[in-house]
Amino acid sequence: MDKRNENLLNDFLKIVFEEGYASVRKWLLLHWYGQTNLTVAIRRDLRERWKALMEESSSKASLRIGESQGNILLANSEIFFSKDD
C-alpha cells in the first residue's frame, strides 16, 4: 500500500473512532490494498491498525467489519448496546 492510500485508510479509521461508524466503497478499499477480493489478510490488517489506534487513545473498543451492497462498513463496537443496557 502506498503512503497516500495508507494515510486515507488511517483517516477513515479515525472517523470510525470519532463518529462510531463509516462506510467505504468496496472497490476503493480493495484498490488501497491492491487486491481484487476482501481477504482475511485485509481484515487482519484493518484490525491491527485499529488496535494501534486504540492503544494511542486508551480505548478498548473493537472493530466490527461488514459488507453490504458494494460497501464495507466499519463500526466501533462501543456504538452498539450491550445486553445490560
Question: Which residue ranges make up each domain of the chain?
Answer: 3-79
Q: List the grid coordinates of 43.
A: 481484515
Burial of 46 (0-12, 13-18, 19+ CB in 10 A): buried
pTM score:
0.86
Q: List the grid coordinates of 35.
A: 487486491
CATH of domain 3-79: 3.30.1370
Residues 32-76 have pLDDT tens digits of 999 999 999 999 999 999 999 999 888 888 999 999 999 999 998
What is the SS3 assignment for 2? coil
